[in-house]
Amino acid sequence: MNRGISQEQLAWKAGIDRSYMSSLERQSKNPTIDLLDRIAETLDVQLSEFFVLPPKGARSPKTLPKSRKPAGPRRKKK
């Protein structure tokens, strides 16, 4: 779901910490229905949209192993 809003903006508008929002995206935390409702309201979507099954044949999003960050640009050695 892409609404053109940053994770930080979404967290602030939903009244939660950005790091907690990040944990939700990584699926390392389980949100309450109340929190999902606040996020849905912030995104201007129905709560039920979070529970819609993906289209047949859709791929799951790529996830990283726990405590791993994506590799950034490499610095040149001096």
Tell which residue, 46, 38, 50, has the closest CA to residue 14. 38
The reply to whether 11 falls in a domain is yes
Domain that holds residue 32: 7-44
pLDDT tens-digit series, residues 64-76: 566 656 566 666 6
What confidence score (pLDDT) does residue 71 get? 61
Residue 9 or residue 54, greater confidence: 9
The reply to whether 36 falls in a domain is yes
Distances (CA, A) of 17 to 1, 76, 78: 20, 35, 38
The reply to whether 19 falls in a domain is yes
The reply to whether 54 falls in a domain is no
Answer yes or no: pTM beyond 0.85.
no
Number of domains forming the structure of the chain: 1
The reply to whether 32 falls in a domain is yes
